[in-house]
């Protein structure tokens, strides 16, 4: 079971339907698991480019393809959005699942199935970095050193971040952040995160911050730790209502944006990046 499966289960029904989902027509209890890989055992009569025995990973977004967002190519913003393993259609903990061809990605020969199962959270991070204003050479703050925060480190390294700063309190996660390539790891229970980020970023603050924690104190710190016209990108799924001080944004022309999972193409980009050693 992936960390975010458990997070969703404990946090409440953000995606897991308590009434029948409009596409799957299923509701809880459901078989969990939206981060997984597997081996193809059978293909439909119209599928010719994936063979039985192929090792694959699954892009689990369920979408209707007809709403305004889908028609623009934003399947991750579908009005009837759901996930394999969270909204029906089985899940990674099932013995077998039936998946549409468009959601199946063949794993390169030099990528293990264990690593391929992590393409889903890596794609979340890849997409977040892609649609943010981040550019090569920027300084970046990441709130949270959990699976998504660590994935953001990987995406930023692949895309040429100059300085990656992580704020995290848990000792093991701090160590992981260092191992994954963070240049600086701060502890918000001990460090003045805003002051330290400004100090590390020429007195101005980070160009971009990514919130992968979803806690009020971190949100307050991140807004103040980005420079004038900097951007805070929210990746976290919040379990409580957050508050924002608009003046912190207005007086420095800072921006706050949300991102949702990934789009078509992100999975293949991540597989290609892993295969090439990025």
Task: Quick: pLDDT tens for 158-197.
Answer: 999 999 999 999 999 999 999 999 999 999 999 999 999 9
Domains and CATH numbers, the chain: 3-120 (3.90.180.10), 133-258 (3.40.50.720)
Q: What is the DSSP letter of 184?
A: E
pLDDT value at residue 210: 99
Q: Which residues contact 229 (CB under 8 A, 6 or more apart)?
A: 252, 253, 254, 255
100-123 as b/e: b if 16+ CB within 10 A: eeebbbbbeeebeeebbbbbbbbb
Identify the band that residue 7 occupies on the pLDDT scale cut at 50, 70 and 90: low
Give pTM, 2 decimals: 0.93
In 3D space, the residue among 246, 211, 206 whose CA is nearest the CA of residue 227 turns out to be: 206
pLDDT digits (tens, 9 = 90+) for 228-246: 999 999 999 998 999 999 9
């Amino acid at each position: 079971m992936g960390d975010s499966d458990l997070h969703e289960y404990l946090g409440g029904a953000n995606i897991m339907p308590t009434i029948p989902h409009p596409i799957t027509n299923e509701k809880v209890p459901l078989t969990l698991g939206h981060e997984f890989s597997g081996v193809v055992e059978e293909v439909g009569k119209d599928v010719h480019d994936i063979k039985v025995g192929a090792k694959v990973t699954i892009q689990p977004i369920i979408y209707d393809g007809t709403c305004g967002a889908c028609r623009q190519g934003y399947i991750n913003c579908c009005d009837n959005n759901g996930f394999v393993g969270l909204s029906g259609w089985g899940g990674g903990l099932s013995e077998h699942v039936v998946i549409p061809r468009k959601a199946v990605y063949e794993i390169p020969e030099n990528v293990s199935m264990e690593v391929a199962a992590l393409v889903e959270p890596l794609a979340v991070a890849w997409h977040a970095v892609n649609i943010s204003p981040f550019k090569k050479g920027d300084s970046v703050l990441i709130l949270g050193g959990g699976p998504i925060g660590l994935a953001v480190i990987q995406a930023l390294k692949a895309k040429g971040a100059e300085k990656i700063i992580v704020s995290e309190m848990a000792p093991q996660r701090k160590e992981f952040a260092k191992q994954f390539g963070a240049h600086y790891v701060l502890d918000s229970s001990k460090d003045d995160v805003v002051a330290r980020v400004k100090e590390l970023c020429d007195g101005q603050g980070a160009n971009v911050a990514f919130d992968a924690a979803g806690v009020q104190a971190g949100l307050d710190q991140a807004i103040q730790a980005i420079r004038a016209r900097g951007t805070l990108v929210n990746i976290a799924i919040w379990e409580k209502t957050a508050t924002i001080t608009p003046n912190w944004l207005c007086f420095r022309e800072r921006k706050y944006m949300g991102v949702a999972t990934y789009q078509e193409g992100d999975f293949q980009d991540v597989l290609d990046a892993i295969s090439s050693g990025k």
